[in-house]
Amino acid sequence: MVRVVKKPEERRSDIIDAACQMFLAKGYDNTTMRDVMRHLQIAKGTIYHYFSSKEELLDAVVESVTENEVRRLKDAMTNVEGNALERLEQLILKSANRHGEDDHDAILEHLHKPANAGMHIRLLARVVTLQAPLYAELFSQGCKEGIFSTDRPLECAELLLGSIQFLTDVGIYPWTQDQLDRRWQAFPQLIENQLRAPKGSFSFLSAINPGNKEK
């Protein structure tokens, strides 16, 4: 085995990328240190040096995936102008419209396997934690502009993001199309209530229902 000298950060992210692929393809439980070692052609001791447990590696994988997505959203939002509602609509659309991009569809397919439920839940928790501030900022902007009203923009964002994600993710639970349709119909009103936003201001959400796209 040729000894390749790599920078620690690069080595660390190589391991994370390899683990991500393996966790998704084989399932978290079925992935062994040996699998990762073979994939990267590095020693087990090296893997252990960076991650002293499989769970630690899982956390790092989840964090990496989540951070990349947040960074993508932040970048996409830098030049978006307009009032809070207009910017919010853009943020939500950019978040939802990931189909056909990179390996996104393949990743989703793997994440939806029951074997990856644990990883999926962790991912969701980190998504809510890291993305809520993006939404909270827009909620605050909306409050200043007089279109929204809430004393707790961050918690409001967490509540909405968390529950909507959970209730619409068929990978977490095989929700029926009826349940999804019913919920997407109701979300605009529920969100408007929560933010005391003008009636109908969130009606653009109904167009997002993934079920509609597949029909």
Partner 1 sequence: MELGRKEKSDIYFQIKEAACELFQSKGFDNTAVNDLLEKLQIEEQVLYSYFQSLDDVLEVVWSES
What single-letter DSSP state applies at residue 114? G
| C-beta closer to partner 1: residue 34 or 99 | 34
Binder of partner 1 out of 5, 41, 53, 101 (CB under 8 A):
53
Which of residues 8, 45, 100, 114 is near partner 1 by CB under 8 A? Answer: 45
Instruction: Kindly state whether residue 54 participates in binding partner 1, applying the rule CB under 8 A.
Output: yes
Residue 193 lies near partner 1 (rule: CB under 8 A): no
Contact 188, 206 (CB under 8 A): yes
The first and second tokens of residue 5, run together, are 């000298």
- Residue 152: both structure tokens together: 């707790």
Spatial separation of the C-alpha atoms in residues 134 and 131, rounded to whole Å: 5
| Token couple for 121 | 């839940």
Element housing 145 (H / E): helix 117-145
**Residue 173 binds partner 1 (CB under 8 A):** no
Contact map string, positions 77 to 106, toward partner 1, x by CB under 8 A:
------------------------------
Strand residue runs (E) in the chain: none
**Min. distance of Cβ 36 from partner 1 in angstroms?**
10
Which residue in 186, 184, 189 sits closest to 200, CA to CA?
189
Q: Is 26 in the site for partner 1 (CB under 8 A)?
A: no
Which one of 16-24, 31-39, 61-69, 164-172 is the stretch in contact with partner 1 (CB under 8 A)? 31-39
Does position 125 interact with partner 1 (CB under 8 A)? The reply is no
* Shortest Å, Cβ 135 to partner 1: 36
Alpha-carbon span 175 to 130, nearest angstrom: 25
Which residue blocks in 146-176 are alpha helix, DSSP H? 153-168
Does residue 38 interact with partner 1 by CB under 8 A? no
Q: How far is the CB of 125 from partner 1 (least distance, A)?
A: 21
Among 95, 86, 78, which Cα is nearest to 202's?
86
Site of interaction with partner 1 (CB under 8 A): 32-34, 43-45, 47-49, 52-55
